[in-house]
Amino acid sequence: MWEHRDANRLVTLDAVYSDDCIFCRTTLLRLPSASFAKEEKRLLVQLSMCSQCGWWSVYRVHQNDHARTAGVAEGYSGSIGCLMQLDLSDIALPLDEVRKYLCAKGDSIFDMHPRKLEEVVCSVFNLLGWKARATAYSGDRGVDVILYAPDGKTIGVQVKRYKKERRIEAEQIRSLAGALMQGGHIKGIFVATSNFRRGAKETAHD
């Protein structure tokens, strides 16, 4: 998922000097700079890494032994780890790459194929220690993921992808409750990208 490219073509010094990751805005981890001699010239090398999404940059200050490049000050050169653009409409993408990509570019979740989103949610539950499986894409009766408890009982999970301005309504909670009863699940979990209206929260507690 990560490409290695020449910084001179992709970023300016403002990017490599930044205290935050240019993709996910996490504070960068800066390793101690190293200074060494090369052909009687002193070089200063600086490496920065993002612990959240994996973006990294390395640049060096040198005595003008490289030609000046547009957008990059004379006397500097470097490379970066660049996040590739994933086609999230492709349901064949590996889940681990999709999860890492969403950590870096969360808004991309709205570009995902609905089935892929359900598979990502299922994989997260598996990583959390649950035995989980995604239901059939059609005819799921309102339950997108099923969690299996150690005693053999099941929990139904419904996944909704809404923008912030569209909240989950009480009627949707009631609909999930009906699907849980029909499927014989003991509990339900509603996973959503937006918030819940007050009535929805009250219905969930009833």
**Is residue 88 one of the residues assigned to a domain?**
no
pLDDT of residue 10: 43
My answer on whether 22 and 57 are in the same domain is: yes
Q: Which of 21, 53, 83 is the last residue of a domain?
A: 83
Is residue 7 predicted with pLDDT exceeding 60?
no
Give residue 152's pLDDT. Answer: 87
Same-domain pairing of 47 and 134: no
* 38 and 140 fall within a common domain: no
103 by DSSP, 3-state: which? helix
Can you tell me the mean pLDDT for 184-198?
92
193 with 133, same domain: the answer is yes
Residues 163 and 101 in one domain: yes
Residue 53 or residue 139, greater confidence: 53
Q: What is the pTM of this model?
A: 0.66
Please check whether residue 49 lies inside any domain of the structure.
yes
Q: Are residues 111 and 187 in the same domain?
A: yes
| Residue after which a domain boundary falls, among 24, 58, 83 | 83
Supply the range of the domain harboring residue 196. Answer: 95-205
Q: Verify that 134 and 71 share a domain, yes or no.
A: no
Q: Is residue 89 part of a domain?
A: no
Segment 137-158 shows an average pLDDT of 86
- Angstrom distance (rounded) from CA 154 to CA 66: 63
Q: Do residue 190 and residue 150 come from a single domain?
A: yes
Q: How many domains does the chain have?
A: 2
pLDDT (tens digit per residue) in 21-62: 777 778 888 877 665 555 555 556 677 888 877 777 776 655
Q: Which two tokens stand for residue 196?
A: 């819940």
Residues 99 and 70 reside in one and the same domain? no
Mean pLDDT of 112-140: 89
171 lies in some domain: yes
Alpha carbon separation from 151 to 33, 134, 147, 148 (Å, rounded): 54, 20, 11, 8
**H or E segment to which residue 156 belongs:** strand 154-160
Task: Tell me the C-alpha distance between 63 and 61, whole Å.
Answer: 7
pLDDT of residue 101: 84
pLDDT digits (tens, 9 = 90+) for 48-107: 888 877 777 776 655 444 444 444 445 555 566 666 678 888 888 889 888 888 887 888
Q: With 50 as the cut, is the pLDDT of residue 138 above it?
A: yes
Residues 194 and 163 in one domain: yes
CATH number where 172 lies: 3.40.1350.10
* 10 close to 23: Cβ distance less than 8 angstroms: no
Residue where one domain finishes, among candidates 83, 118, 136: 83
Predicted local distance difference test score (pLDDT) of residue 39: 53
* Same domain? 61 vs 128: no
Looking at per-residue pLDDT, the higher value among 31 and 145 belongs to: 145
pLDDT in tens, 126-136: 999 999 999 98
What local confidence, expressed as pLDDT, does residue 30 receive? 81
Residues 146, 155: Cα–Cα separation, whole Å? 6
Q: What is the pLDDT of residue 41?
A: 53
Mean pLDDT of 132-149: 84
pLDDT the model gives residue 123: 95
Does 90 map to a domain? no
Same domain, 19 and 116: no
Q: Average of pLDDT values for 153-168?
A: 91
Q: Using alpha carbons, select from 39, 33, 15 the residue that is nearest to residue 25.
A: 15
